[in-house]
Amino acid sequence: MTDKLLETQVNIFLSNFKCCADQGEIDYSEVNSKTTKFLRTIGWTNKAMNSFILENIESKHYFRGPSEHHHQKNRTVVEFGMMLDDIQLYVKLELIIENEDFVAGYMSFHPREQKIEHFPLDRTGEVE
């Protein structure tokens, strides 16, 4: 896949995700236990996580996907790496198709357990 095609796919994903989230079409049912524990540790709610991601995520944070959900149909999953102060985060988001509409889904938001070797859309090398 060319960088331009990939960048377009990621930007469309993020645009749809943000639009759904801005409209309150959000599904937190797949937030994993690592995320819940991490949010508790930093004193954040799901709403605070949502706000942080919507305000800060960009295509340059992309590192993998889109891929199909491992259990559910009609879901597209994309993975990102972001920073929260000095914490390297792993962020896994999904777009869910429900009744012909999109819903933004959160899966993971916690410190990385593995190093992300490459951010293919980070042309300046600023994403850690």
Enumerate domains of the chain plus CATH numbers.
3-111 (3.30.2310.40)
pLDDT tens-digit profile of 74-128? 788 999 999 999 999 999 999 998 887 889 999 999 999 999 989 999 988 778 7
Query: Is 3 a residue whose pLDDT tops 90?
Result: no
Q: Centre a 10 Å sphere on the Cβ of residue 12 and count the other Cβ atoms it contains.
A: 13
Angle value at C-alpha 120, between 118 and 126, nearest 5 degrees = 70
Answer with the residue of higher pLDDT: 68 or 29.
29
* pLDDT the model gives residue 71: 66
Query: Is 20 a residue whose pLDDT tops 80?
Result: yes
pLDDT tens-digit profile of 60-70? 999 998 766 56
Give the CA count within 13 Å in the CB-facing half-sphere of 100.
Answer: 0
pLDDT tens-digit profile of 33-64? 999 999 999 999 999 999 999 999 999 999 99
